[in-house]
C-alpha cells in the first residue's frame, strides 16, 4: 500500500522529530499527545528546528512552510485511526504502549500499518496484543531525528513482507537509511551502545575515573563525538536504565546488569539534560560534572 498519512503518538523529543521529517517528506501528519502543553512545545520545537535548517541552507523557506502546514495536532487518540501508518513514540514502558494500542486498535482502518519507535521492547510481544500482528513492526528512529540518518526496521515473528516493504519505502522517502534488525532485546544500536554506557557508569562507580576523565578518554582515545556519560545525559538516564533492564531480563546474562550508580541517579530524578542534572549539572552556563 502507498503511505500518504502518518499518525504519531507522543509529542516528546522523538515524536516531534518524527513529525518534522515526515512532514518535510510530503506526508500529512497528525501528532497526538495527552497533554496540550506537550503539543504546543512540540510545534514550537519543530518551528525552531525548521528555522535552523532554513538558516543553514538545508531547506528552502517554501518547503519549510509547506512541511509545517502539513502537521496537525490532536488530544484525541481515535482521530489517528484513519492514518495509513501510525508510529507510536510514547514513553519507553511496555504497559503504557500496550494501553495505547488497546485504545487505538478499534479505530484503525483494516489496512493501517501500526509501528512502535521502541528502542528495546519486543516487537513480537507488542504486536501479539493487537488485532494486526502481521501489520505491526518496529520503526526505531535515532535521536535527534532530523539529524540522524539511520532508522532500524524490526520485524516481529508475524510481520509480513508487504508491511516491511511499505515501511522501507517510507524510510527511503525520508532520505534516511534503513537497517533491518531481528526482534531480540534492544535490536542492534542499543544492544551495542547502551551496555557501553553502562560500563562507563561502572568505571565511574568503581572510581577508575571521574566523569570528565571518562568522557575525555573516549572522545580523544576512541574518536567518539560525545563521551559515554555525556551521551547518557543526552539520551536520558531513565531510558538507559530501561534498556539495560530489558537486556538483563530478556537475555538473562549478568553482563547486562544495570550499574547500581545508574539506578541511584534515576531514583534521585537526575535523568540528564531533560531534568537539568545527570552526570553533568546543566543549570549554569557550562555543564559541570556531578562526580
Q: The C-alpha cell of 64 is what?
A: 519549510
Q: Does residue 143 have an active-site annotation?
A: no
Contacts of 252 (CB under 8 A, 6+ apart): none
User: Which one of the listed residues 32, 119, 120, 198 is annotated catalytic?
Assistant: 119
Q: Does residue 116 have an active-site annotation?
A: no
User: Which one of the listed residues 116, 122, 140, 198 is annotated catalytic?
Assistant: 140
Q: Does residue 152 have an active-site annotation?
A: yes
Nearest to 196 by CA among 145, 230, 220: 230
Instruction: Check: CB of residue 254 under 8 Å from CB of residue 263.
Output: no
What's the burial of 159, exposed, middle or buried (CB within 10 Å: 0-12/13-18/19+)? buried
Q: Does residue 198 have an active-site annotation?
A: no
Q: How far is CA 116 from CA 14, 143, 161, in A?
A: 12, 15, 17
Residue 89, CB half-sphere, CA atoms under 13 Å: how many? 28
Contacts of 256 (CB under 8 A, 6+ apart): 195, 198, 244, 247, 248
First-to-final CA distance of the chain: 53
The residues carrying an active-site annotation are 119, 140, 152, 190
Amino acid at each position: 500500500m502507498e503511505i500518504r498519512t502518518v499518525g504519531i503518538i507522543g509529542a516528546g523529543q522523538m515524536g516531534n522529530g518524527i513529525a518534522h521529517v515526515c512532514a518535510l517528506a510530503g506526508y500529512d501528519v497528525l501528532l497526538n499527545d495527552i497533554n496540550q502543553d506537550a503539543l504546543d512545545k512540540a510545534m514550537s520545537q519543530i518551528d525552531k528546528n525548521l528555522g535552523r535548517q532554513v538558516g543553514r541552507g538545508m531547506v528552502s523557506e517554501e518547503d519549510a512552510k509547506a512541511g509545517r502546514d502539513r502537521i496537525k495536532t490532536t488530544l484525541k487518540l481515535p482521530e489517528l485511526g484513519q492514518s495509513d501508518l501510525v508510529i507510536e513514540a510514547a514513553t519507553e514502558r511496555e504497559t503504557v504502549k500496550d494501553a495505547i494500542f488497546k485504545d487505538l486498535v478499534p479505530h484503525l482502518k483494516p489496512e493501517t500499518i501500526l509501528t512502535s519507535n521502541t528502542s528495546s521492547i519486543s516487537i513480537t510481544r507488542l504486536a501479539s496484543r493487537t488485532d494486526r500482528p502481521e501489520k505491526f513492526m518496529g520503526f526505531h528512529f535515532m535521536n535527534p531525528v532530523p539529524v540522524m540518518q539511520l532508522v532500524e526496521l524490526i520485524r516481529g515473528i508475524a510481520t509480513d513482507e508487504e508491511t516491511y516493504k511499505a515501511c522501507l519505502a517510507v524510510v527511503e522517502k525520508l532520505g534516511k537509511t534503513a537497517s533491518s534488525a531481528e526482534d531480540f532485546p534492544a535490536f542492534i544500536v542499543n544492544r551495542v551502545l547502551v551496555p557501553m554506557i553502562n560500563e562507563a557508569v561502572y568505571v565511574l562507580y568503581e572510581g577508575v575515573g571521574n566523569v570528565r576523565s571518562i568522557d575525555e578518554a573516549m572522545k580523544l582515545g576512541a574518536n567518539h563525538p560525545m563521551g559515554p556519560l555525556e551521551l547518557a545525559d543526552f539520551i536520558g538516564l531513565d531510558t538507559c536504565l530501561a534498556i539495560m533492564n530489558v537486556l538483563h531480563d530478556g537475555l538473562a546474562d549478568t553482563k547486562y546488569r544495570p550499574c547500581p550508580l545508574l539506578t541511584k541517579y534515576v531514583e534521585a530524578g537526575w535523568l540528564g539534560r531533560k531534568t537539568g542534572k545527570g552526570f553533568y549539572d546543566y543549570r549554569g552556563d557550562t555543564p559541570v560534572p556531578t562526580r
